Structure 1
Amino acid sequence: MSPYIFMQRYSIEEIKSWERFYRANFVNCLTGFKPVSLIGSISNNGIPNLSVISNIVHLGADPALIGYINRPIAAAPDTITNIEQTKSYTVNHINASFLSQAHQCSAKYAADIDEFNATGLTPIYEKNIVAPFVKESAFRFQMELVEIVPIQYNDTFLVIGQLKAVFLDESIIAKDGFLDLAAAGSIISVGLDGYAKAEMITRLPYAKP
């Protein structure tokens, strides 16, 4: 039985009445712990960009598609503009060793600022891949743009990419292809500014009726 017997009800009308940042923290925590990564991109003018993304989602394994939600253009224009221009971007898992620098990438830097330099992170360019990776990341992969789907209700965009290459330490790959991201040190996030370490509890067998 749940220990929380007396649970307070909050209507959406009440939630809308709250102070802006209190409301944003509350609503952002509702979806629970989420993966958090840095998306690396580069403009046509050769200026690298980094964005903290905590709404990345698996869309399919064959073809291997991954999506993320980009905020409205007015609030976050650089990443989506770079991806539209070059069709190339990278996803770099964050670990505790560079968490402060990664979080700083959520700041609104001007479009002409190299965010690797600004945050103290190191770009690394792999052969025939336009977008930069984060050298400090122990788990990173290359994406190629497939489609950008506008979500008209709140002016956001679902950015869909196809997986092109993965860079990781083979020691985290199980015999069945399962990736032990906790062992890799990949962290998770909650809300706007909360970060936590992931811990494996167990793996359960394939469920059948």
Structure 2
Amino acid sequence: VFASDDTFHAAGDGKLGGIVQPPHPRCQLDDSGIYASSHLYDYPSVGHLAQVLSAANIQPIFAVTSPTMPIYQELSRLIPKSVVGELRQDSSNVVQLIAEAYNSLSSTVELQHSPLPPGISLSYESHCGDPPGPPQPHGGFCAGVHINQEVNFTVRVRASSCLDPPQRVGLRVLGFTEELSLELSTPCTCSCTQRQPQAPLCHGGTLDCGVCSCHG
């Protein structure tokens, strides 16, 4: 839970204080739990923050006051599985806000894949509802999911080039540690034996498995 009544810093803000080093990948909290390297490292970028949160399966709840709500709503769109709630000036609704935000997060199922190797693309269809309705081509996302409700996803993998050696892609639901690992391989040679030299279709070239090979 991140609570604030102001906007946030991002990469580049440290230049105002002469700090240009990017944030260190290791935790920089001291023994008292206080960040002790603010004079050494710049703030992280939104992309870096989203990557670290996703890798650690952290689902942030932004509890912010009304004037900053639009800013954090835009930020939430860039951070998967995050939610924004309006915090009263006296913070009297913080418990209710966290409960509502948690219910919103826990009722959302979102499928995510690891970085794709070159030549591979993925597309999703989600089957949401209870019972699951017609496929939705908007990606691996279902909202309003209840306890014990089943949702299904159809994942299509397309290879535009030969995969040699085979490649691996991971699929997981945000918020869960389990991951499905896919090993992808493609036939890189043609086993066809249909070969026709001097084929009329190829104007004297060779018709090999439906492809013309010309002789210079």
* TM tier relative to shorter chain: under 0.3
- What is the TM-score normalised by the length of structure 2? 0.25
**Larger strand percent:** 1
- What is the TM-score normalised by the length of structure 1? 0.26
